Amino acid sequence: MDTDDSTTLTIDDLRDGDVLRWRPADRHCREGIAVVQTRSGGTLYAADTFWGSTMGPYILRPDEIATATVEWNLADYRPFDPNTQTLADYAPP
Instruction: Give the end-to-end CA distance of the chain in Å, rounded to a whole number.
Output: 20
- How far is 33 from 46, CA to CA, in rounded Å? 9
Q: Is residue 15 part of a domain?
A: yes
Domain span at 22:
11-75
Q: Is residue 5 part of a domain?
A: no
Q: Is residue 40 part of a domain?
A: yes
pTM: 0.74
Please return the burial class of 32, using the count of CB atoms within 10 Å of its CB with bins 0-12, 13-18 and 19+. middle
Q: Is residue 4 part of a domain?
A: no
Q: Is residue 1 part of a domain?
A: no
Per-residue pLDDT of 52-81, as tens digits, reads 656 678 899 999 999 999 999 999 887 777
Is pLDDT of 3 > 50? Answer: no
User: How many domains are there within the chain?
Assistant: 1
